[in-house]
Amino acid sequence: MKKTTMNRKILVLVLGAATIAAVFAVWAAEDKAPPAGAGATAAKAALTVTATVPQTSRWPVTVSANGNVMAWQEAIISAETQGLRLTEVRAQVGDRVKRGQVLALLSADTLSADLAATRAGVAEAEANQAEAAANAERARQLQASGAISAQQIQQYVTAEATAKARANSLRAQLRAAEVRLAQTRITAPDDGVISMRGATVGAVAQPGQELFRLIRKERLEWRADVTAADLARIRPGQKVHVTTAGGSAVAGTVRSVAPMVDAATRNGVVFVDLPQPGDAKAGMFARGEFAVGERDGVTLPQSAVVLRDGFNWLFLIGADNKVRQLKVGVGARFGERIEITSGLPKDARVVSQGAGFLADGDTVRLADK
């Protein structure tokens, strides 16, 4: 009997402990559980965005092309005499020079001596000419008196003509000697910048040997390769936006269009003047766009277009402020705006700022203007 009573007491204690443990477990679970309605509040949270609408405006029509920046004209400067040694070189690559400026000097000792000898010969010939002329004049005066024969008179007249011709010949030789001496001064044929130097002190110059190259007027041009299909849309005087290899923009103007198309590439060359070339250098690659006209286009800010998975997307804002993802086609970019070519309704409201953080079906809140 005592044993049964003891078992009942143990059972009551065990049941009481279990009940207390269950109560504490419920309290702990209630403390950890989120408050009622918290999930609903998170679902209603909205991202603040800026909205815009499509705009129709005049959109420039451009033709893109690649090409090289080249010198407008590059003058080749060489020696005009042969067998003379270079004694001085005064110009280096990159030097800006003026028309007539001395770039190099050739040895002039031999030519100076020849010039002095020719001048002496001219002086002697002029003296002989003067004497012959005086004799011929006296013979003409005596012709009427018969003091000298007609044959002698003819001899004096002939001697006068011969002396005159001799003097003229030596004067021409003197002029040639002066020209040869002047050619020992290698000068710039025009204003410009030296682009190449082959002259070396001590070398013997030969006629036609290239000593310097000069970019005339420092004037550069862009020679664009344009496809035959686009060539007919380009006219002299059109404006061109050229981008150099360094990324800087240069304004240009079409000067001329080549009259032929390359049979291998089917491209034609368009010559574009670059009045202010900036950091463009001759031989540099550049790309550009020709402004060939205007057309109407629907545009949006570039920030409204999101590139995902290789496609362009917009987010349309509905009446309930929920966004809908829409795939669109895009065209040219101009400034901060981009052309939308397809897929966009005219009366659409589009997320312009914050589109990159949205997903289809999100609820948004519009920022106050």
Could you please report the per-residue DSSP string of 196-220? EE---TTPEE-BT-EEEEEEETT-E
Whole-angstrom Cα distance, residue 324 to residue 51?
A: 13
Whole-angstrom Cα distance, residue 318 to residue 349?
A: 8
Give the lowest-confidence range in 40-54, 152-166, 308-322: 40-54
Q: What is the pLDDT of residues 40-93, one digit of tens each?
A: 444 454 688 888 989 888 877 889 999 999 999 999 999 998 889 999 999 999
pLDDT at 9: 54
Structure-block tokens of residue 264:
């291998």
Structure-block tokens of residue 110:
């031999």
Q: What is the residue extent of each domain of the chain? A: 44-72+219-369, 74-107+184-217, 112-178
104: DSSP letter: E
Q: How many CB atoms lie within 10 A of CB 71?
A: 21
The residue to which tokens 């010939």 are assigned? 125
Find which of 62-76, 139-153, 340-354 is predicted with most confidence, using mean pLDDT: 62-76
Q: Quote the percentage of the chain above a pLDDT of 70.
A: 87
| pLDDT (mean) for 303-326 | 91
Asked whether residue 227 carries a pLDDT value surpassing 70, the answer given is yes
Q: How confident is the model at residue 343 (pLDDT cuts 50, 70, 90)?
A: confident
The residue to which tokens 């041009």 are assigned? 221
Q: Which CATH number fits domain 74-107+184-217: 2.40.50.100, 2.30.29.30, 2.60.40.10, 1.10.1060.10?
A: 2.40.50.100
pLDDT at 13: 55
At the top level of CATH, which class does the domain 44-72+219-369 belong to?
Answer: mainly beta
**Average model confidence (pLDDT) across the chain:** 86
**In this structure, are residues 151 and 57 in contact, taking their beta carbons and an 8 Å threshold?**
no
Q: What is the CATH number of domain 112-178?
A: 1.10.287.470
Which helix (H) or strand (E) segment holds residue 304: the answer is none
**In this structure, are residues 77 and 212 in contact, taking their beta carbons and an 8 Å threshold?**
yes
Torsion of CA 304, 309, 311, 316, to 10 degrees: -40
Q: What is the pLDDT of residues 243-302, one digit of tens each?
A: 998 889 999 999 999 999 999 999 999 999 999 998 899 999 999 999 998 888 888 999
